[in-house]
Amino acid sequence: MAKTVSLPETVYADLVSVSDELTLMAKKPISLSMAVHLITAVYRAHMSNPCALDAFSQQMASLDILSPEEFDKVWDDVPSKKGKEKTKKKKA
């Protein structure tokens, strides 16, 4: 059974962008859920390498990670990258 996930707008927009890129690569439609599944598979394949797992674990441990509530608030307030690019292009 399908489950609903709530994403900040910028994260959702990034997921849509990845789905579009995967669609172009596959030359077949890739839904958002398919994109999440593929991203997860790539993550698991990468983390199966002990060196990659160790390096990633060290990076994660050294990050000043926001709480889930802080993350949601911050990322809901951040304008999307595409919005910034359009603004820059208009000014140039």
pLDDT of residue 51: 96
pLDDT of residue 30: 97
What pTM value is reported for the model?
0.69
- Residue-by-residue pLDDT tens, the chain, 92 positions: 889 988 888 899 999 999 999 999 999 999 999 999 999 999 999 999 999 999 999 999 999 988 988 887 777 666 555 454 444 444 44
Query: Within a domain: residue 19?
Result: yes
| Strand (E) or helix (H) holding 17 | helix 9-26
d(CA 29, CA 18): 12
List the end-to-end C-alpha distance of the chain, in Å, as a whole number: 49
User: Is residue 38 within 8 Å of 30, Cβ to Cβ?
Assistant: yes
Number of domains in the chain: 1
Query: Within a domain: residue 76?
Result: yes
Query: Within a domain: residue 90?
Result: no
Q: Which residues constitute the domain of residue 31? A: 9-83
Query: Within a domain: residue 2?
Result: no
